[in-house]
Amino acid sequence: MTTRVPEPATKRQPLNRDRLLSTAIAIADASGIGALTMRSLAQALDVKPMSLYHHVANKEEILDGIIDVVFGEIELPPADIDWRTAMRRRAVSARQVLARHPWATPLMESRRNPGPVTLGHHDAVIGILRRGGFSIQLTAHAYSMLDAYIYGFALQEAGLPFDNETVPDVAQEMMAEFPTGAYPHLTELAMEHVLQPGYDYGDEFDFGLDLILDSFEALLRSDR
């Protein structure tokens, strides 16, 4: 004999904004941002499309919202460590987060309504630089440059037509389509670098990051 269960464990949770946004992110992660439609989102939430409009004004607000959630995933180091360690950890974390959500980087461009988490992130990073002794001028330089580098790298990484395992196959396939003798330098770089064992495009990130941090360390010293 079964007991009557007034509230079964599988009972549908009431819809709310947080669940809406995290489900939207899950869809984009799994199937790309193109697969995120009001209809697909509603179905994943076990609800009709029109119900979504009770929690967000429109799809734009969903896109603004998920970008703000993604920003919240980036580690903000404690305020009491030195600026270089803090900037390094934030940059590495940002790259990891953007690699986890490859649809997010290009979306940054069109989003012009930064959410509270995004603004808080920017504020904290600027604060770390200022406390580290950066002038306002130098803070602007450093922040602009670091973010350009991080987003640009993430954009390139998201656009790579291969992951680390399929490098040889994809590279060989692409080069097979080259007209004979065309792109000699590209071919050289592929053969003698990209196709060598142990190659990992991701390793490039640390090189450029440290180069930037070195430069600002030198500038900071000569600044005061």
Partner DNA sequence: ACCTGAACACCGTTCAAGT
Q: Which stretch binds DNA (CB under 7 A): 55-63, 77-85, 178-186, 212-220?
A: 55-63
Alpha-carbon span 92 to 187, nearest angstrom:
30
Cβ of residue 50: shortest distance to DNA, in angstroms?
4
Is residue 108 at the binding interface for DNA, with CB under 7 A as the rule?
no
Q: Which two tokens stand for residue 140?
A: 């602007």
Helix axes 116-131, 136-159, angle to 10 degrees: 130
Give the single-character DSSP code of 81: S
Residues that bind a second copy (CB under 8 A): 102, 105-112, 119-120, 122-124, 126-127, 130, 136-137, 139-141, 144-145, 147-153, 155-156, 158-159, 161, 178, 182-186, 188-189, 192-194, 201, 204, 207-208, 211-212, 214-215
Cβ of residue 156: shortest distance to a second copy, in angstroms?
6
- 213 closest CA partner among 128, 112, 154: 128
Q: Name which position in 18, 22, 54, 113 contacts DNA (CB under 7 A).
A: 54
Q: Which two tokens stand for residue 52?
A: 């979504």
Give the up-direction half-sphere exposure of residue 111: CA atoms within 13 A in the CB hemisphere.
Answer: 22
Cβ of residue 179: shortest distance to DNA, in angstroms?
24
Q: Name which position in 29, 33, 49, 108 contacts DNA (CB under 7 A).
A: 49
Give the single-character DSSP code of 132: T
Cβ of residue 48: shortest distance to a second copy, in angstroms?
26
Contacts of residue 167, defined as CB under 8 A and 6 or more positions apart, other chains included, come to: 194, 195, 199
Is residue 210 at the binding interface for DNA, with CB under 7 A as the rule?
no
Q: Which is nearer to a second copy, 92 or 126 (CB)?
A: 126
Is residue 59 at the binding interface for DNA, with CB under 7 A as the rule?
yes
Q: Which is nearer to DNA, 12 or 193 (CB)?
A: 12
Q: What are the angstrom distances between the C-alpha of 87 and each of 75, 77, 115?
A: 10, 8, 22
Alpha-carbon span 67 to 118, nearest angstrom:
8
Binding site for DNA (CB under 7 A): 14-15, 36-40, 47-51, 53-55, 58-60
